[in-house]
Structure 1
Amino acid sequence: MKIVLLGPPGAGKGTQAEWISAEYDVPRISTGDMLRDHVARQTQLGNLARQYMNEGKLVPDDVVIQMMRERLEEEDCRDGFLLDGYPRTLYQAQALDEAGGLDLVLYLDVGDEEIVQRMSGRRICPRCGEVYHLVNDPPKVEGICDKCGFTLKVREDDKESTVRKRLEVFRLQTAPLISFYASKDILRKVESSGSIEETTANIRTVLEDLEG
């Protein structure tokens, strides 16, 4: 089964990707992991990507596409794969289509206000790295880490203004992808505003329908 998993930041893609990968025994492939692997191995593509990354620039589509083509030709992808957060652009989607196509595109559908609540409620301990959530997993003492007693902080990425900006960028980037995959009738929107377990159950229903 060849699957792409899309969704806004804070939609829970990582958690659901782990479940799909384990449940259906397909490798989970993310652009970030792939880039880091190439850079660490100092491949030709990795060295090229590192130049852009060191300058704080996005790695060009052509470089990422070539990396992905090579990755999908590896033996563990023969019976399927799960792409987490790829493609990000219409050009990448078209290249992926030319390389063999997909069975399914899952879009984790969560409203902006729910995303803002999820992400802006996160607190992290700068000393030990423990993560909390003001609503879903609060510390025992407000603002204090349970494990080490250090003062909790809000990551810059989790501030409401930052989250809203990221969502705006995501919606603009993703709209063409949604139209592209909807036109091929392989896009399935999955209600993901509930709990992790509810989202997993919704995904399971879609995948079971696909298997017939």
Structure 2
Amino acid sequence: MSADLFLRRAARIILVGAPGVGKGTHAERMLKRYPQLSSISSGDLLRENVRNKTPLGIQAEAIMKRGELVPDNMILRLIRNSLITKGWLVPDDNAQSFTVNSVSTNITAPSVAVNVPRPTGAEYSHSNEPDASFILDGFPRTDSQALQLDCLIPINLAIHVHTPTEIILDRICNRWIHPASGRTYNTTFNPPQKAGFDDVTGEELVQRDDDKPEVWKARLKQFEDAAMPLLEHYGKLGVLWRVVGNSSDEISPKIFKEFERRFGVEG
């Protein structure tokens, strides 16, 4: 992105892709390349609230200590609170009572452009200013979560990152590590000098249980089953875009080009 290229409207993005396709790498590269983009991570918000012992964080910590998953409505509240704090989301009528961390609060709208049509059932108006652009990480993962998110704030670009299964398996299942140091090798593109042994110490390399082919095949199948309805949801909304490649270095430039085509404007 050139120094004279800016965003002409808010970009609200999610990345959808199987484990091992490099979603985190692509997100980091986009955040570095486009200063107007921010990251909103449901996991980071959860950890921050637990660490700060907010009422919502205390509830979430108790749930996790019981070995249960934090429910969708709690994750949505975390995301909502973050967006409202940033001024990117405003309750209907620009000022109304709503619940933050289980406390009813009256909020007056920030001075941002929020006159944007809302989805049916939505209770909030959202900013369409370029600085209200973000990549949402960790949510939604299912079509039911996406439907709930639609009523909070609409995603306007869902990027489906696809790498062929055999490439993912080759990349992950050929990975071997030296446990003591954490040094990682791949028998395909970064093999040790002596097969099965660490270059520095000569000690034997091991393969983690999580990297074994049968484990990854199961994970990829699980992703496909869960992701198909999610992708269909965003396809019906007309915001789904699919990018295919064998590596992050091949895929990232394609993402940049499409992102700039949709949201960029020369200054």
TM-score norm. by structure 1 comes to: 0.89
Relative to structure 1, the CA distance from residue 131 to residue 21 in structure 2 (aligned partners, 3 Å threshold; closer, same or farther) is same
Larger C-alpha radius of gyration, 1 or 2? 2
The structure where strand makes up a greater share of residues is 2
Relative to structure 1, the CA distance from residue 151 to residue 175 in structure 2 (aligned partners, 3 Å threshold; closer, same or farther) is same
Q: Give structure 2 stretches of 5+ with no counterpart.
A: 1-10, 89-130
1:16 aligns with 2:26: yes
SS at match of 2:40: strand
Across the aligned residues of Structure 1 and Structure 2, the Cα RMSD in angstroms comes to 2.1
1:60 aligns with 2:40: no
**1:117-132 equivalent positions in 2, closer than 5 A:** 117-132=170-185
SS at match of 1:154: coil
The structure where helix makes up a greater share of residues is 1
Q: Give structure 1 stretches of 5+ with no counterpart.
A: none
Task: Using the TM superposition, give the Cα deviation of residue 89 of structure 1 relative to its aligned residue in structure 2, in angstroms.
Answer: 1.9
Relative to structure 1, the CA distance from residue 210 to residue 167 in structure 2 (aligned partners, 3 Å threshold; closer, same or farther) is same
Relative to structure 1, the CA distance from residue 38 to residue 141 in structure 2 (aligned partners, 3 Å threshold; closer, same or farther) is farther
Moved more, 93-102 or 181-190: 93-102
The count of corresponding residues between Structure 1 and Structure 2 is 211
Task: Using the TM superposition, give the Cα deviation of residue 148 of structure 1 relative to its aligned residue in structure 2, in angstroms.
Answer: 4.9
SS at match of 1:9: coil
TM-score norm. by structure 2 comes to: 0.72
**1:105-124 equivalent positions in 2, closer than 5 A:** 105-124=158-177
Structure 2 counterpart of 1:89, which letter?
A: T
**1:89-168 equivalent positions in 2, closer than 5 A:** 89-168=142-221
The percent of aligned pairs where both chains have the same amino acid is 35
Task: Using the TM superposition, give the Cα deviation of residue 72 of structure 1 relative to its aligned residue in structure 2, in angstroms.
Answer: 2.5
Q: Deviations over 1:131-167 (max 9, x none)?
A: 2222122233322333554432222221111111111
CA contact 1:61–1:91 (8 Å) conserved in 2: no
CA–CA distance in structure 1, aligned partners of residues 193 and 46 of structure 2: 39
Match of 2:52 in 1: 41
Task: Using the TM superposition, give the Cα deviation of residue 22 of structure 1 relative to its aligned residue in structure 2, in angstroms.
Answer: 1.2
SS at match of 1:205: helix
